[in-house]
Amino acid sequence: MRTAAQYMFRQIDDWGSSVLRVVMYTLNVLEMIYLSVRATFFDQAQGLRTIFSVVSAQIYFTGFQALPLISVLALASGSIVIMQSQAQLSLLGGAEMIGNLLVVVIVREISPLLTALIVIARSGTAVASEIGNMKVNREIEALEVMGINPLSYVVFPRLVGGVISVLCLAFYFILVALIGGFLVTRLVDATPFSFYADSLARAFAAEDVLLFLLKNTFSGAIIFTVSSYQGLQVQRGPHEVPQVTTKAVVNSVVYVTVFNLIVTTLFYLNELVKLGLI
């Protein structure tokens, strides 16, 4: 029979193994980013023209084709947040704070997170299954035989195209949520646009741009590296493709949300330090 001490050591052992697995996985993914960038720019293979045609295709599939879905979600979430904020702030007598609230909720938090989740659902799955199928169909081996590094031909363009797409989609999300959301709200509320625009303009700060770039660039990089990495893990056959696709989605969601949480926490800690509260 297992003693309490044995049980405790076993638990610690399991936790340690889990932490090690996460650390190793993260290091492998980071190594793949490094190797794909290195292979693209520093190796002798000079197929940059071919690589950038894949980048533009990735931007089309991830960025352009996601616009209708992003529009619907941005409009809906923008309208909801604006309506709720106006109602609550009017009750509290702080209607002019609407801009600050929207910048915090939509620009800093909802836009990066929802955009990332949509891109994971649409393109992360597509990239993982596409690369998985490429492994099964020996397309990856065929590239190697032709002297084309799969990291520069397959991974790098998806990474660059993905980051550009996420940045553009997040910006588009903010525009639609703030402007479209206001227009929808006008159906039930008579707040003048000049008042709303003035409140928003006063609320935007330089750190919002930094936060926007930081969150969206890294979210894009995380989604497309994790998805590509999972796709390349297919070894034996087509039955592995759905498994790696599911893993790509789960890991991307976890990494993106944890990253957003860390950035937000650090940002607000910094704000508290600036205010002298810590």
Partner 1 sequence: MIDTKSIESIEFRDLSFGYDQTLLFEKSNFQLEKGKIFHLSSASGAGKSAVLRLLAGLVLPSSGEYLLNGLSVGDMSFEEFLPYRLCFGFSFDLGGLLNNRTIRENLTLPLEYHKRFTDEEIKRRCELMLRKFDLVAAADRRPSSVSGSQRKACVVARSLIIEPQVLLLDDPTTGLGESAARELVHTIGEYVASGKTRFVVIATDDKAFLNQMSVERLDIRQGKISLRGLEAA
Max Cα separation, the chain? 74
Q: What distance in Å separates the CA atoms of residue 74 and residue 106, rounded to the nearest whole number?
A: 9
According to CB under 8 A, which residues from 87 to 126 bind partner 1? none
Is residue 124 within 8 Å of 252, Cβ to Cβ?
yes
Examine residue 144 and tell whether it contacts partner 1 (CB under 8 A).
Answer: yes
Examine residue 237 and tell whether it contacts partner 1 (CB under 8 A).
Answer: no
Enter the tokens of residue 17: 């193994």
Examine residue 139 and tell whether it contacts partner 1 (CB under 8 A).
Answer: yes
Examine residue 184 and tell whether it contacts partner 1 (CB under 8 A).
Answer: no
Q: What distance in Å separates the CA atoms of residue 240 and residue 111, rounded to the nearest whole number?
A: 33
CB of 57 to partner 1, least distance (A): 8
Examine residue 50 and tell whether it contacts partner 1 (CB under 8 A).
Answer: yes
Other Cβ atoms less than 10 A from the Cβ of 76: the count is: 15
Among residues 83, 136, 179, 197, the one that binds partner 1 under rule CB under 8 A: 136
Residue (48 or 72) nearer to partner 1, CB = 48
Other Cβ atoms less than 10 A from the Cβ of 207: the count is: 13
Residue (135 or 215) nearer to partner 1, CB = 135
Examine residue 31 and tell whether it contacts partner 1 (CB under 8 A).
Answer: no
Binders of partner 1: how many residues, by CB under 8 A?
Answer: 23
Q: Which residues contact 269 (CB under 8 A, 6 or more apart)?
A: 278
CB of 27 to partner 1, least distance (A): 20
Q: What distance in Å separates the CA atoms of residue 152 and residue 35, rounded to the nearest whole number?
A: 8
Residue (67 or 136) nearer to partner 1, CB = 136
Nearest Cα neighbor of 199 from 213, 224, 181, 178 is 178
Examine residue 146 and tell whether it contacts partner 1 (CB under 8 A).
Answer: yes
According to CB under 8 A, which residues from 152 to 171 bind partner 1? 153
Nearest Cα neighbor of 117 from 215, 263, 242 is 215
Residue (142 or 261) nearer to partner 1, CB = 142
In this chain, which stretch among 103-111, 147-155, 209-217, 219-227 interacts with partner 1, using CB under 8 A?
147-155
What is the rounded (10 degree) CA torsion for 238, 242, 245, 246? -150
What is the Cα 258 distance to its own chain's centre?
11
Examine residue 37 and tell whether it contacts partner 1 (CB under 8 A).
Answer: no
CB of 33 to partner 1, least distance (A): 17
Examine residue 233 and tell whether it contacts partner 1 (CB under 8 A).
Answer: no
Examine residue 194 and tell whether it contacts partner 1 (CB under 8 A).
Answer: no
Examine residue 141 and tell whether it contacts partner 1 (CB under 8 A).
Answer: yes
Helix ranges, 137-205 (H): 139-145, 150, 156-175, 181-185, 193-203
Examine residue 43 and tell whether it contacts partner 1 (CB under 8 A).
Answer: yes
Residues of this chain that interact with partner 1 (CB under 8 A) are: 39, 43-47, 50, 133-134, 136-139, 141-149, 153
